[in-house]
Chains A and B, each alone.
Chain A
Amino acid sequence: MVESTKIRLDFRKSLGSFTLAVDCTLETKVSAFLGVSGSGKSTLLNCVSGTLTPDEGEIAFGDEILYASASKINVPPEKRRFGYVFQEGYLFPHLTVAQNIRYGQPNPRKSSDAVDVLEISELLQRYPNELSGGQRQRVAIARALAMEPRMLLMDEPLAALDSALKDRIIPYLHHVKEVFEIPILYITHAFSEAMTLADEAFLIADGEIVASGEPHRLLTAPSAMPIAQLTGVENILFLPVTASDKARGLTVLEIGNQSLMIPYIDIKIGEVVPVAIRAEDIIISLEPNLSISARNVLPGKIRNLDVKNDRTWVSILVERHHLAVKITHEAREQLQLREGLAVYCVIKASAINLMWD
């Protein structure tokens, strides 16, 4: 594999009262920026593409400086040669698919590999308004690739599609990643996309990078805060499926030597799925044998108690997984919770959500 070009992003951009300030170096093939809407992801991508000019700082692609406030360098977007795939596609409505693809092609007479990779050769004579959402996005990706870019910028290319379509497009993205030897900068609010595609992920919140690292590790890090900031969900676990029963409406996941029941999902046994549990949806019990409707009672040990203004955060170790639990101060006092205490985590099956996005 060709070594990836280092991309240096160190700049600041204010839009009204919002400020984006980043300082990072992208060294892997696919870098994902994860964040909720309004976190500054799109601003970041627009600054990299050159359609938005930062207030100050520097952007460099390898040795080439694209923007530098100090030396007043600002390479216009048409000279940067970065393929940009937009969430909404932004195909030119008055041009056919073929004309859209040719628009940025250095040699318009040559047919582009992108057409084959994205399997759109049958759509070439159509106009964008004659395409389905998934086809449109494939054409948008092909158009960005046909210009033979030095880097691919992807702004939530799947966000406008429903989940069935997403699953159909993701293999194309993998294909693109393998066939085209260029770095990809991918922004998304969906874990699953970042997980499956990215080599490195950056969590972005309120215009700042709050954490970075290999996506899987990043999302399962004991410090739940970045993830909580991103989604409002404190606990994300990656667990294998051990059984699935459509009639009973349950799927069973394995968490260490314990089982975790979740509402039925149509998935193969053995597959690892990401699940999310909110900290306030976990009940702490001192007894295992309760007569309650909740299906999951997991034994664990309190690692840490953190008394915040209105709530107590309890970190519980369950089979090598850390669970963050949010309870009232009153509950903490009544149960006399302390570090090292053996407790049970009670979780309703319906409180466990699949993190497909």
Chain B
Amino acid sequence: MRITPAEIAALSLSIKVALFSLVIMFPPGLLVGWLLAKRTFPGKAFLNTLVMCPLVLPPIVSGYVLLILFGRHGFIGGFIYQIFGIEIVFSQVAVIIAVSIISFPLLVRGIVTGMESVPLELENAARTLGASPLKVFWTITFPLAYRGIVGGTILGFSKSLGEFGATIMVAGNIPDKTQTMALAIFSAVHLGEDASVYRLVFISTVVAFIALWLTERFTLR
């Protein structure tokens, strides 16, 4: 099996983007997960719905919304263009934005599940032992929610690796620039490059399998 440079570029872009997105989205994921799992506040149902939306919307629709928002005349994109003179759409940054938005719900779900499994009584016990809410979070909630957090992280990462719909809408399908694995497979199928399709499908399957297997290993006892 000989992998072409274009295929390697697609694979490495996918991995790079998925890692970047994870690093960027993990802190807000923790915060949102903690809010949803441990706090009651007005607008909680709305926040939950907003975060989970990309999970149920067709990715194409999420991508379209992002395209409108980040376009040169869009609400956010226009602002960035005016200040920095940078265009977001059809760039690698757009890929990162697209996969981040799509994978965020999976990350948050895992974190919420993990944190919900930590009994409030343990956190209260820590408070009575003199721990501030922040110390309680880092010494009790976080380590005990570990499995859920790892699970959400790996699922989110896998989702990022394979994201297609939102990416193609907001970042296009530019070889060597914004063409991820999923987009490369799409192009190869279209061009009838069967050998390339098989290789990419094989690689994707192996990566997805490993990610899922890791999730199981970390989340199951």
Tally of A interface residues using CB under 8 Å: 25
Given A90-B121, A92-B122; A78-B144 close (CB under 8 Å): no
Q: Which of A80-88, A193-201, A254-262 contacts B (4 or more CB under 8 A)?
A: A80-88
Cα separation A49 to B129 with both chains bound (whole Å): 10
Chain A residues closer than 8 Å to B119, beta-carbon distance: 90
At the interface, yes or no: A103 with Cβ under 8 Å from chain B? yes
In the bound complex, residues from chain B placing their C-beta under 8 Å from that of A90 are: 119, 121-122, 125
Q: Say yes or no: is A51 at the interface (Cβ < 8 Å to chain B).
A: yes
- Contacts of A188-247 to chain B: CB distance below 8 A: none
Complex Cα gap A153–B126 (Å)? 14
Residue A94 at the B interface, CB < 8 A?
A: yes
Contact between B124 and A51, CB atoms less than 8 A apart: yes
List A113-158 residues whose CB lies under 8 Å from chain B: 143-144, 147, 153
Most A CB within 10 A of own CB, among B124, B131, B140: B124
B125 cross-chain contacts in A, Cβ below 8 A: 84, 86, 90, 92
Q: Cβ of B129 and Cβ of A76 under 8 Å apart? A: no
Whether the Cβ atoms of A94 and B129 lie closer than 8 Å is no
Q: Given A51-B128, A103-B126, is A86 in contact with B144 using a C-beta cutoff of 8 Å?
A: no
Give every chain B residue within 8 A of A83 (Cβ-Cβ). 128-129
A171 CB contacts on chain B under 8 angstroms: none
CA distance A106 to B129 in the complex (A): 10
Does B130 count as interface, using CB distance less than 8 angstroms? yes
Q: Is the CB of B121 within 8 A of A93?
A: no
CB–CB A94/B144 < 8 A: yes
CB nearest to A106 among chain B residues:
B130
Cβ of B143 within 8 Å of any chain A Cβ, yes or no, is yes
Q: Does B127 contact A (CB under 8 A)?
A: yes
* Bound Cα distance A54, B158 (Å): 47
A-B contact count (CB 8 A): 56
The answer on a CB contact under 8 Å between B144 and A84 is: no
* Residues in A whose Cβ lies below 8 Å from that of B140: 92
Known: A92-B140, A93-B144, A94-B144. A86 touches B130 (CB 8 A): no
State in angstroms the CA–CA spacing of A77 and B122 once bound together.
13
A78 touches B130 (CB 8 A): yes
Distance of A239 from chain B, by nearest CB (Å) = 40
Q: Answer yes or no: A104 CB below 8 A from chain B CBs.
A: yes
CB distance from B113 to the nearest CB of A (A): 17
Determine if B132 is an interface residue (Cβ-Cβ < 8 Å).
yes
Whether B128 and A84, one on each chain, are in contact in the complex, defined by CB atoms closer than 8 angstroms, is yes
Q: Give chain A nearest CB distance to B141 CB in angstroms.
A: 11
- Measured in the bound complex, the distance between the Cα atoms of B132 and A77 in whole Å is 9
| 8 Å CB contact of B121 from A78, A80, A88 | A88
CA distance A70 to B212 in the complex (A): 56
Q: Which of A308-338 contact B (CB under 8 A)?
A: none
Residues of B within 8 A of A93 (CB): 144
Residues B132-151 near A (CB distance < 8 A): 132, 139-140, 143-144
Residues of A within 8 A of B121 (CB): 86, 88, 90
Q: Which residues of B contact A147 (CB under 8 A)?
A: 129-130
Complex contacts, A88 vs chain B, CB 8 Å: 121
Interface 1/0 per residue, A50-63 and B, CB below 8 Å: 11000000000000
Contact A92 B126 (CB under 8 A): yes
In the assembled complex, how far is the CB of residue A304 from the closest CB belonging to chain B, in whole angstroms?
47
Chain A to chain B contacts (Cβ below 8 Å), 18 pairs: A51-B127, A51-B128, A77-B124, A78-B128, A78-B130, A81-B130, A83-B128, A84-B125, A84-B128, A90-B125, A92-B125, A92-B140, A93-B144, A103-B129, A103-B131, A104-B129, A104-B131, A147-B129
Query: 3 closest Cβ contacts across the A-B interface?
Result: A104-B129, A77-B127, A84-B128
